[in-house]
Amino acid sequence: MKRKVLLSTMVVLAGSLLAADSRDEVKSAARKLAEKDNYSWKTTVETGGNFRPGPSEGKMEKGGYTVLSMSFRDNTTEAVMKGDKGVIKTPDEGWKSLEEAAADDGGGQPNPGRFIARMLRNFKVPAAQAEDLSGKVKDLKSADGVYSGDLTEEGAKSLLTFGPPRGGNAPEVSGAKGSVKFWVKDGALSKIQFNVQGKLSFNGNDRDVDRTTTVEIKDVGSTKVDVPEDAKKKLS
């Protein structure tokens, strides 16, 4: 009996150590990407509902600017980030700071710029996003350069609502769950994919969410980041 208990304990400890090693390997791969001078990425989001954003493209330079282009239906919104500051430009307006865009209620009409500005307050480039996601998993398993695991309930909740709530208008979340995968090539992060599921309840309305986000990293070390002068002035 004692031998069985000892063996069971050793198996559990070995599993915990392997999970810790896998998590450290993902973090190391993310940091290796973060050390690069520049890189680009493409993000696609698949949902089962009516909200279907188009693909978004991003470029970043170490210690400099991050440029984003986000599409939804026939509209494209540009954004430029540097440090803790950011500006966005919608098709119908000039450059605005995130604070200005978030405060614009659009005269009571739907305002995608306002939504995007609020979402960008929690924005992370892929290297930082991977480190953050690795801390939201129960454990990670590796096979052929792919690390995968299930999200914790709290981790899934934070991704369902695009980060921590601001103010008292956060939706209630139930049944939160999800999973994440990391691809590593030559020791550096090359791709991220995560799925989140759950129910959001807000103002008496319930909405089921099943969303898969895929981030593909490319042009590492050969990306050129061009920033419009008007955006630079607004950021200064």
Instruction: Determine the average pLDDT of the residues in 205-234.
Output: 94
In DSSP notation, 16-34 reads HHHHHHHHHHHHHHHHHHH
Q: Is the separation of the CB atoms in 172 and 144 below 8 Å?
A: no
Give me the architecture of the 36-235 domain, per CATH.
Clam (2.50)
Question: CA-CA distance, 211 to 226, in Å (whole number)?
Answer: 31
What pTM value is reported for the model? 0.83
**Is pLDDT above 90 for 59?**
yes
Q: Which amino acid makes up residue 67? A: V
Summarize pLDDT for 135-182 with one digit per residue, the tens: 999 989 998 889 999 999 999 999 988 654 445 567 789 999 999 999
Confidence (pLDDT) at 141: 93
pLDDT band at 126 (very low <50, low <70, confident <90, very high): very high
**Non-local CB neighbours of 202 within 8 Å, separated by 6+ positions:** 169, 171, 172
Strands 141-143 and 56-61: unpaired
Confidence (pLDDT) at 136: 95
The residue with greater pLDDT, 90 or 199, is 199
